[in-house]
Structure 1
Amino acid sequence: MRILVTGGAGFIGSEYVRSALRGDLPGSAGVHVTVLDLLTYSGNPANLEEVRDHPRFRFVQGDTSDPVVVDEVVAGHDVIVHFAAETHVDRSIASAARFVQTNVLGTQVLLEAADRHRAGRFVHVSTDEVYGSIPEGTWTERSPVAPNVPYAAAKAGSDLLALAWHRTRDLDVVVTRCTNNYGPHQYPEKVIPLFVTNLLDGLRVPLYGDGRNVRDWLHVSDHCRAIQLVLLGGRAGEVYHVGGGTELTNRELTDRLLRACGAGWDMVDHVPDRPNHDLRYSLDITKIREELGYAPRVPLERGLAETVAWYRDNRAWWEPLKNAAPAVAGRGLPRRVTA
Structure 2
Amino acid sequence: MISVRTKRTVGATGLELPVFGFGGAHIGELYGTVEESVARETLQAAWDAGLRYFDTAPWYGRGLSEHRLGGFLRTLPRDKFHVSTKVGRTLHRPANPATFDRSPWVGGLNFEVKFDYSRDGIMRSYEQALQRLALDTVDVLVIHDLDAAYHDVDEYARHRKDLLETGIPALEELKKSSDIKAFGMGINTNEAFEVVAPSVDVDFFLVAMPYTLADQGSLHRGMADCVKRGISVVVGAPFASGILATGAGENATYGYASASAEMQKKVRDISEVADKHGVSLPSAALQFPLAHQAVVSVIPGAAKASEIIQNTESLSAEIPDAFWTELKERALIVADAPVPMQGGH
Give the TM-score category using the shorter length: 0.3 to 0.5
- TM-score by length of structure 1 reads 0.34
- TM-score by length of structure 2 reads 0.34
